[in-house]
Amino acid sequence: MKLKKHGIKTASAFISLLLLFITKLTFAQTSAPAASVNSPTIDEAGTLNTMWMGISYNVLLFLLICIVVAVVGRILKIYDLTLQIQSKKGLDWNRLMAVGFGLFLVVGMYGAYWEYTVQGSMILPEAASAHGQKIDEMFNITLIITTIVFVGTQIMLFTFAYIYRGSQLRKAYFLPHNNTIEKLWTIVPAVVLTILVVFGSITWKNIQDVSVKDQRSALNVDVTAHQFAWEVRYPGNDNKLGLKNYKLVSASNKVGVDFKDKNSYDDLTADEIVVPVNKPVRINLIAQDVIHSFYLPWFRVQINAVPGLPTFFQFTPTITTDDMRTKMDNQNFEYKLYCNKVCGGNHFNMQKVFRVVKEAEYQDWISKQKPYLNDQLKKDLKMAIAQPKMLGLKNKLAFNKL
């Protein structure tokens, strides 16, 4: 009687979930064409709906699998009880469990294979910078080692669970301590991790330790972060950026360039960051309000922009935007600079196009950029000159002291 009641409950839960599942699927099919007809541009609400549709689909699929497993378990239990009533030998549950472990191993390994092949292809494509290739190499070596360990330990775990399943015919072996095994599982991971850490430190040192000579020869670009934009400044022909002083920030002098430093006279402003391919570029960073993060995923570059603390990162882009467009078969592709610190409400919008071009194209582009010292600023500076205290040189942020 109790069994029957339980069976009815399980069946009704199963049917209601199935109905919900079918309703969701039908709803998804009817709403999709309507969304694409009405909105030729980005349909954010539609994208969100699709996302939730995907989540509910997977949750329901998971619940469905759980119910199927529970129903199969119940059927086996009933079969077992029937055998016992007929005074026959019942089911060998230990064996059943062991087979279940084996099945789980096969399904789980297929899941891991699926993750690597289907989702693995969604990771960033080849690095577009010289040091990025070294970072990718390190990532791949770590991934290969952890994959080997993962596959090995999972196979051992489930195979042992199968081989040493509970049996009336044997007694469990009591193994309180084994020095050899302890040494093995301590020394082997320690050696592997040490190799990875040393390898990582050497790579990090090679990327970070740029000689003063190389820093001088690099193209200097000054990037100032604030909520919620990036201000870009290029040096003029001297490749020397003028000093900045946060006290000089005004409506016309957005980043507070100090015009007592003559290097600043020929500085240029730009709406995008354009750099020549295969030439080292040094990005000089600072923030005006909160911490932001200068993030160029395609170049494997990320460094914080901190208020009051100048930071820099030097790297060499190796693939032009045009070449990457061809590689990706997407003529609209652009490298983008993102902010990678949640810096406030409009953080998501803190983006800028980052173009890598051939040297000639870069020279052409830079010749068209506007001077930072524009007419409005010249006018404002005359006003400021009348109040010399406002132009004090204290708290100067020396970017270009090389």
The site for Cu ion (CB under 5 A) is made up of 292, 339, 343, 350
Which residue type, as a one-letter code, is found at position 209? D
Residue closer to Cu ion (CB basis): 284 or 316: 284
Residue closer to Cu ion (CB basis): 3 or 353: 353
Q: Least separation, in Å, of the C-beta of 260 and Cu ion?
A: 30
Q: Which helix (H) or strand (E) holds 244?
A: none
Handedness of CA 107, 108, 114, 117 (dihedral sign): negative
Q: Least separation, in Å, of the C-beta of 309 and Cu ion?
A: 15
| Distance, C-alpha 61 to centroid of its chain | 28
Q: Least separation, in Å, of the C-beta of 292 and Cu ion?
A: 3
The CA distances from residue 59 to 14, 25, 52, 63, in Å, are 14, 13, 10, 6
Give a three-class secondary structure readout of 68-105.
HHHHHHHHHHHHHHHHHHCCCCCCCHHHHHHHHHHHHH
Residue closer to Cu ion (CB basis): 60 or 290: 290
Q: Least separation, in Å, of the C-beta of 307 and Cu ion?
A: 12
Question: Nearest-CA neighbor of 274 among 215, 362, 370?
Answer: 362
What CA–CA distance (Å, rounded) separates 297 from 351?
12
The CA distances from residue 296 to 102, 317, 340, 353, 401, in Å, are 44, 11, 9, 10, 26
DSSP-H helix ranges across 238-288: none
Q: Least separation, in Å, of the C-beta of 339 and Cu ion?
A: 3
Q: Least separation, in Å, of the C-beta of 225 and Cu ion?
A: 6
What CA–CA distance (Å, rounded) separates 310 from 107?
51
Residue closer to Cu ion (CB basis): 196 or 306: 306
DSSP-H helix ranges across 209-282: 212-217
What CA–CA distance (Å, rounded) separates 357 from 364?
10
- Token readout for 169 is 């015919």
Q: Least separation, in Å, of the C-beta of 348 and Cu ion?
A: 9
What CA–CA distance (Å, rounded) separates 136 from 299?
11
Residue closer to Cu ion (CB basis): 335 or 338: 338
Residue closer to Cu ion (CB basis): 207 or 350: 350
Residue closer to Cu ion (CB basis): 17 or 306: 306
Residue closer to Cu ion (CB basis): 296 or 343: 343
* Terminal Cα-to-Cα distance of the chain (whole angstroms): 88
Residue closer to Cu ion (CB basis): 275 or 343: 343
Q: Least separation, in Å, of the C-beta of 350 and Cu ion?
A: 4
Residue with tokens 């820093």: 215
Q: Least separation, in Å, of the C-beta of 228 and Cu ion?
A: 6
Residue closer to Cu ion (CB basis): 292 or 352: 292
What CA–CA distance (Å, rounded) separates 220 from 401?
12
- Nearest 5°: the CA angle 189, 191, 194 is 105
Within 10 angstroms of residue 207's Cβ, the number of other Cβ atoms is 19
The residues facing 233 across adjacent strands are 222, 269
Q: Least separation, in Å, of the C-beta of 49 and Cu ion?
A: 29
